[in-house]
Amino acid sequence: MSSKKAPTGLRWRASTTFILTTVAVGLFTDLFLYGLIVPVLPFMLKERVRLPDEKIQSYVSWLLAAYAGASVIFSIPIGVIADRANARQFPFLCGLAALLAATIMLAMGQTILMLVMARILQGISGAIVWTVGLAMVLDTVGPENLGKVIGTIFSFISVGELAAPVLGGVLHNKTGYAGVFGLGSALLVVDFILRALMIERKTAAKYDKSYEGKSNSGEHGVREEEGENRERSEEEPLLPKKEEEAYRISHGQNSLLRNLPILYCFSSPRLLVALLLAFVQAALLATFDATIPTEAASLFDFDSLQAGLLFIALDIPYLLLGPLAGWAVDKYGTKPAAVLGFGYLVPALILLRLPTEHLISNTKGNIILYSAILSLNGIGLAVIGSPSIVEASDVVQKYNKANPGLFGENGPYAQLYAFNSLVFSAGLTIGPLLSGGLRDTIGYGNMNLVVAVITGITAVLSFLYIGGKPKILQR
Each residue's pLDDT tens digit, 180-229: 888 888 888 898 898 888 888 777 777 777 666 554 444 555 555 554 44
The HSE-up count of residue 335 (CA atoms within 13 Å, CB side) is 18
pLDDT of 230 > 50? The answer is no
Distance of CA 450 to the CA centre of its chain: 22
**Structure confidence by residue, pLDDT tens digits, 237-280:** 455 556 667 777 766 566 666 667 778 888 889 999 999 999 99
Is 391 a domain residue?
yes
Task: Work out the pLDDT band at 350, boundaries 50, 70, 90.
Answer: very high
Distances (CA, A) of 347 to 343, 432, 453: 8, 21, 10
- pLDDT greater at residue 150 or residue 355: 355
408 sits in the region (left: phi over 0; alpha: psi -120 to 50; else beta) called left
Q: Is the pLDDT of residue 4 over 80?
A: no
What backbone phi and psi angles, to 5 degrees, belong to 220? -80, 160
Residue 271 and residue 265 in contact, taking contact as beta carbons nearer than 8 Å: yes
Q: Say if 241 falls within a structural domain.
A: no
Is residue 276 in a domain? yes
Average pLDDT over residues 99-103: 86
Determine how many CB atoms are found less than 10 A away from the CB of residue 251.
8
- Contact between 269 and 336 (Cβ < 8 Å): no
* DSSP assigned state of 88: S
DSSP code of residue 353: G
Residue 450, sorted as left (phi over 0), alpha (psi -120 to 50) or beta, turns out to be alpha
Question: Could you tell me what percent of the chain has a pLDDT over 70?
Answer: 85
Side-chain half-sphere exposure of 49, counting CA atoms within 13 A? 22
pLDDT for 47: 81
Closest by CA position to 56, among listed 68, 34, 33, 39: 39
Average pLDDT over residues 311-334: 83
Domain count, the chain: 1
- Residue 86, classified by CB atoms within 10 Å of its CB into exposed (0-12), middle (13-18) or buried (19+), is exposed
- pLDDT at residue 272, as a whole number: 94
Q: What is the domain extent for residue 417?
A: 10-223+260-473
Inside any domain, residue 99:
yes
Q: What is the largest CA-CA distance in the chain?
A: 76
Q: What pTM value is reported for the model?
A: 0.75
Residue 272 near residue 266 (C-beta atoms within 8 A): yes
pLDDT band of residue 415 (cuts 50, 70, 90) is confident
Neighbouring C-beta atoms of residue 34, cutoff 10 Å: 26
239 inside domain: no
pLDDT tens-digit map of 360-411: 778 888 889 999 999 999 999 989 988 998 898 888 888 888 877 777 666 7
Which is nearest to 295 in space by CA: 351, 349, 348, 355? 355
The answer, yes or no, to whether residue 81 has pLDDT greater than 70, is yes
Query: Helices then strands (H, E): number in the chain?
Result: 21, 0
To the nearest 10°, report the CA torsion of 104, 108, 112, 114: -40
CATH of residue 98: 1.20.1250.20
CA distances from 153 to 20, 149, 385 (A): 8, 6, 10
pLDDT reading at 6 higher than 90: no
Contact 126, 30 (CB under 8 A): yes
Spatial distance between the Cα atoms of 165 and 32, rounded to a whole number of angstroms: 8
Q: Is residue 250 part of a domain?
A: no
| Measured distance CA(439)–CA(98) in Å, rounded | 33
